Amino acid sequence: MYSRSSEPVRFERDCDVVMVPQGDQVTLPAGSVGYITQSLGGSYTVFVEGNLFRVAGGDADAIGKEPVPPLELPEGADDEAVEQMVWNQLRTCFDPEIPINIVDLGLVYEASVKPREDGQREVAIRMTLTAPGCGMGDILVADVRDKVEMIPTVAEADVELVFDPPWNRNMMSEVARLETGML
């Protein structure tokens, strides 16, 4: 959890966080002291009093960090450009315990963009987890939905959590397998 490269942090205000890996939502009070152990994709994993907690990007100010800036889409962007942005956003989603994005972990099976008559778009995503009983499953699904819905013109992201086919390490990218020593 903690290492010499972990950044010390003090909560500047009360902050709703999620316990890792249980997925329970709790509030850490202002003045809580800990260490940032992971800061990937705009969210933070913080080690406080022997526990890991995930701080959402929108609450980055609670630990003295800048919130994630809004996304911009070029004027007149087509569905292909939006789909590319969807995949880019998915690469900003990380399991709080594993410093590899969910795309490289092989957790995303499908992401498709469908235009609507009102000029907005709907995105359908099928994804899985490394383990069906993962306590962070709902948190990861919400993170995916929130990050995709940040994309201009995306009105709704429907994220379906599936377990068929079951995930296995062969679904990981070569880079991810190399980083985890599973190559």
Give the pLDDT of residue 81.
96
| Torsion-angle region of 151 (φ positive above 0: left; ψ -120 to 50: alpha; else: beta) | beta
- State the span(s) of the chain assigned CATH 2.30.30: 7-63
**Distance between CA atoms of 3 and 139, rounded to whole angstroms?**
25
Enter the CATH code of domain 79-180.
3.30.300.130
Architecture of domain 7-63: Roll (2.30)
**Distance between CA atoms of 76 and 43, rounded to whole angstroms?**
30
Q: Is a pLDDT exceeding 60 seen at residue 1?
A: no
User: What average pLDDT does the segment 116-124 reach?
Assistant: 96
- State the span(s) of the chain assigned CATH 3.30.300.130: 79-180
Each residue's pLDDT tens digit, 127-143: 999 888 888 888 899 99
Each residue's pLDDT tens digit, 145-177: 999 999 999 999 999 999 999 999 999 999 899
Give the pLDDT of residue 23.
86
User: What average pLDDT does the segment 73-95 reach?
Assistant: 93
Stated length of the chain: 183
Q: Is a pLDDT exceeding 60 seen at residue 125?
A: yes
